[in-house]
Amino acid sequence: MAKVMVIGATGQIGSELTIELRKKYGGNNVVAVTRKSEFPKEMLESGPCEKWDVTNKEDMKKSVKKHGVEIIYQLASLLSVTSEKDPNAAFQINLIGLKNTIDVALECGVKKIFWPSSIAAFGPTTPRENTPQRTVLEPTTMYGVTKVAGENLLNYYNTHYERYGLDLRSLRYPGLISWRAEPGGGTTDYAVAIFYEAIKTGKYTCYLREDTMLPMMYMPDAIRGTLELMDAPREKLTVKGSYNFAAISFTPKELAQEIKKLLPEFKIQYAPDERQKIADSWPKKIDDSQARKDWGWKHEYDLAKMTKDMIENIRKKLRK
């Protein structure tokens, strides 16, 4: 059984992906790593958990060696809004963290790395409708800058696979929506917060304009897609950087209308803030046909199916 490490295991993606990986590889074969947050009980009890910082290469090396790790998911990252508040920290965690992971992987015989990119790799000069796989990458956020630079690093090492023997894989995630893990500091966070507020208070004030269309995805699709990409035969993968990865696109108004079908009393207001500018620089809809062609990506959840599942599960979680 492969030895796997998830760095950023308590984050938005990590907290669900780590549990799935432990089901797949066995709890003891998946090391969960976080910098400072507390591990949830389920994670603490189902396998090894460690605390160190992705910017500390020596700590990473010791841990990778100790566990004989073969596959690393390097998910530690600051999201778009937090990255704008502290661009230097974003550069260190998002980009130096990735380079450290690559360096340690090469020194310690790790075979495969997964690293998340984002729709934030695109910018205002990118076509916003059906954004192609290969297009202009001129982001206006530090988060986006770290994603483009990271994609280029992956492209470099994958291009020179004969020399380095390291297999790096990546997805440009859209906004991710889950009832389990709440995001923090992202531009697409409204699409999670709206559900909690709709159930708790019956109303929500959205920080984006009602017509702001963004690419989004329900977390079960995102987790399954990530595992499918990691399992795909390397010779099928034609993208050496990061794959466009899409499911649904909607506006806050469309999401509110869908929620109203199940919670008719729900009321939404709009008070756009500085996050609007970030959202306006990102695509509305992504063309992910290359992922569908190369490794058979297919999403399952549309807006209606996701909304129903979110409301049912948050109600259970909050006992409402």
What residues are labeled active site? 143
**SS3 for the chain, per residue?**
CCCEEEECCCCCCHHHHHHHHHHHHCHHHEEEEECCCCCCHHHHHHCCEEECCCCCHHHHHHHHHHHCCCEEEECCCCCHHHHHHCHHHHHHHHHHHHHHHHHHHHHHCCCEEEEEEEHHHCCCCCCCCCECCCCCCCCCCHHHHHHHHHHHHHHHHHHCHHHHCCEEEEEEECEEECCCCCCCCCCCCHHHHHHHHHHHCCEEEECCCCCCCEEEEEHHHHHHHHHHHHHCCHHHCCCCCCEECCCEEECHHHHHHHHHHHCCCCEEEECCCCHHHHHHCCCCCECCHHHHHHHCCCCCCCHHHHHHHHHHHHHHHHCC
Q: Contacting ligand SER (CB under 6 A), which of 118, 131, 158, 170? A: 118
Stretch that binds ligand SER, among 122-130, 153-161, 180-188, 235-243 (CB under 6 A): 180-188
Stretch that binds ligand SER, among 102-110, 113-121, 149-157, 220-228 (CB under 6 A): 113-121
Token readout for 59 is 């700590």
Q: Contacting ligand SER (CB under 6 A), which of 188, 242, 244, 281? A: 188
Site for ligand SER contains 94 (CB under 6 A):
no
Nearer Cβ to ligand SER, position 63 or 94?
94
Nearest to 175 by CA among 314, 275, 34, 37: 275
Site for ligand SER contains 242 (CB under 6 A):
no
Stretch that binds ligand SER, among 102-110, 114-122, 150-158, 297-305 (CB under 6 A): 114-122
In the complex, minimum distance from the CB of residue 133 to ligand SER, in angstroms, rounded to a whole number: 17
Site for ligand SER contains 77 (CB under 6 A):
no
51 strand-pairing partners: 34
In the complex, minimum distance from the CB of residue 173 to ligand SER, in angstroms, rounded to a whole number: 6
Cα(first)–Cα(last) distance of the chain, in Å?
Answer: 42
Stretch that binds ligand SER, among 184-192, 193-201, 263-271, 312-320 (CB under 6 A): 184-192
Site for ligand SER contains 80 (CB under 6 A):
yes
Q: Contacting ligand SER (CB under 6 A), which of 30, 90, 110, 120? A: 120
Site for ligand SER contains 122 (CB under 6 A):
no
Task: Report residue 284 CA to chain centroid gap.
Answer: 17
Measure the CA–CA gap between 99 and 152, rounded to whole angstroms.
11
Q: Contacting ligand SER (CB under 6 A), which of 175, 225, 241, 283? A: 175
* Residues 17-56 within binding reach of ligand SER (CB under 6 A): none
Site for ligand SER contains 173 (CB under 6 A):
yes
Q: Please answer whether residues 113 and 105 qualify as being in contact, where contact means their C-beta atoms are separated by less than 8 angstroms.
A: yes
Site for ligand SER contains 187 (CB under 6 A):
yes
Nearer Cβ to ligand SER, position 29 or 226?
226
In the complex, minimum distance from the CB of residue 119 to ligand SER, in angstroms, rounded to a whole number: 6
Closest CB to ligand SER belongs to which residue?
186
Token readout for 275 is 């996050």
In the complex, minimum distance from the CB of residue 309 to ligand SER, in angstroms, rounded to a whole number: 19
Nearer Cβ to ligand SER, position 113 or 121?
121
Residues in CB range of 58: below 8 A, 6 or more apart: none
Site for ligand SER contains 283 (CB under 6 A):
no
Contact residues toward ligand SER (CB under 6 A) are: 79-80, 118-120, 173, 175, 186-188
